[in-house]
Structures are given as structure tokens and as C-alpha cells.
Amino acid sequence: MKYSKIELMICQLARLLEDGSTIVVGTGMPCAAAMLAQKTFAPNIMLFFEAGGIGPLLQEMPISVGNSRTAYRGIMTGSLSEIMETCQRGLIDYALLGGGQIDMYGNINTTYIGDNHDMPKVRLPGSGGANDLASSSWRFIVVMRHERKRFLKKLDFLTTPGYLSGPGAREEAGLAPGGGPYKVITNLAVMGFHPESKLMQVESVHPGVTKEDILAETGFELLWSPLLKESSPPTDQELNILRNEVDPYRYVVGRSF
């Protein structure tokens, strides 16, 4: 069955979410991936939404983190403070984030593009809860388009901390020990981070993508995993559930990429 780049990315993300894990979810691809996981191999994942929904059974795609669908058959409906407190207490396994720019240590910019904060070329949405979630969750996963203007050696602004300047930097800054970026999923590949240097490294390359394609769209030197492989494409079952149950109105999978 044919699939789009967005469908491939959603499936790659869904497969990372272990059954029983606790996850803070945003809208768009992260929500679609969480729903796909919940409807297939991870029925016991515990989902949290920034506006307060805790433990819902997702039946229809929420259009925002405050949508009433994020509370359907949930444990409770709280508020932003409950979600952030849960992160700070060390109870969140994964936060699923997007980004405007990212560097080799997984630091993210979602504030502005340009060299002048007061007069930027592009004003981005800002942190929202991303800084707090990345600072306090055990791991975070980034989903974004792979382009040279986004994968940069130096960010225009550091909104959300990854491994900051490298090994030990998060701990020195007082952030959650052992936390940090886990995976970066793009339209070209899945990247992780080297356990010692904390530098981004390619772990799997998507079907039809070459090493040269990835290098051409990356503005810093990437590491390559010794266990490098090709990403497994979506299965027919995953695509059927994604298209017919998760996102039948094509809020997410209908986007061009």
C-alpha cells in the first residue's frame, strides 16, 4: 500500500511508544502517533495533554490540546499546573515536540528566525510548554521537517534545551538528570544521540532516501550509527487504522509535506 512521508513519520513515532509509558502529547503528528499506538500495540499508554486532559481513550482526533476529545473516558481533567507538576515529579517518560530549528545536541528553537529578537525575519509560536516538558521529562522526541535551514550548527535562539553544549551540560544547568532528547524523526530519517558525545546520529534512513540526501539537508556534521538500517515502511494495518480510525477527516495525514 502506498504511503506519504507524513504517514511514514507518524508510524515511526508510534512504534517508539512502549505500552504502559507516560506521554505528554501535542496536536498534529504527535497526537496521531499516540492514537495509532493506543489503537494497536500500546493500549495502556497514559496520555497527558498540556491543557489538563489525563489518561483519555482517544476516539477522534483532537484539534487542540484543550479540545474536549482529550478528556474522553480519561482519569481526570486538570490544568496546566497538574501536567507540569507531573513532569517535575519525574513521572513522564516522553514529551513529543516539534521545532523550527534544531542543532547537533538536540536544542530547539521555536521563538524566532533571524538575528534580531525585536525585528525577526519570522516570529515563531514560542515555547508554549516545550521548555518545561523537555527540561523535566525523562526523554523527549522531536518530529520535524528535515531541511538545511532547520538543522543548524548554531540556533538563532535556544528555546528548548536538548543536551545544551554537550555531555554534562544539562546536569550543570540543573535540569533533570538522565533526561534529554531521545529521537528526532524527519521526512528523511530517524536520528538518535550518541551516548557519550551526545551528538546527533542517524539510526535509520527512510526508503528511497540516500546518505547524500540527508547530508545535503543538514547544516552540521552528523554521526552515523554502526547499526544503521533502513526504516521499516508502514504496514497495511497501520495505514488502515491511521486513515480510517485515527484521522478519517485527514487533519494531519492530508497535509502536503
C-alpha distances (whole Å) from 105 to each of 50, 158, 229, 240 are 25, 11, 22, 36
Q: Domain holding 134: CATH number? A: 3.40.1080.10
* 53 assigned to some structural domain: yes
pLDDT digits (tens, 9 = 90+) for 202-226: 999 999 999 999 999 999 999 999 9
* 256 assigned to some structural domain: no
68 alpha carbon, distance to own chain's centre = 22
Catalytic residue among 7, 50, 203, 238: 50
- pTM of the shown model: 0.96
* 252 assigned to some structural domain: no
**Burial letters for 208-235: b for 16+ Cβ neighbours within 10 Å, e otherwise?**
ebeeeebeebbbeebbeeeeeeebebbe
* 25 assigned to some structural domain: yes
Tally of domains within the chain: 1
* 255 assigned to some structural domain: no
Confirm whether 172 is a catalytic residue: no
**Burial letters for 101-129: b for 16+ Cβ neighbours within 10 Å, e otherwise?**
bbbbbbbbbbbbbeeeeeeeeeebeebbb
* 251 assigned to some structural domain: no
* 146 assigned to some structural domain: yes
Sign of CA dihedral 147, 153, 158, 161: positive
DSSP class per residue in 99-122: -SEE-TT--EE-SEESS-SSS-SE
What is the span of the domain harbouring residue 18? 5-246
Sign of CA dihedral 37, 40, 46, 48: positive
Task: Assess whether pLDDT exceeds 90 at residue 257.
Answer: no
Please give the Cα distance from 75 to 235 (Å, whole number): 32
* 254 assigned to some structural domain: no
pLDDT digits (tens, 9 = 90+) for 29-62: 999 999 999 999 999 999 999 988 999 999 988 9
Banded model confidence at residue 85, pLDDT cuts 50, 70, 90: very high
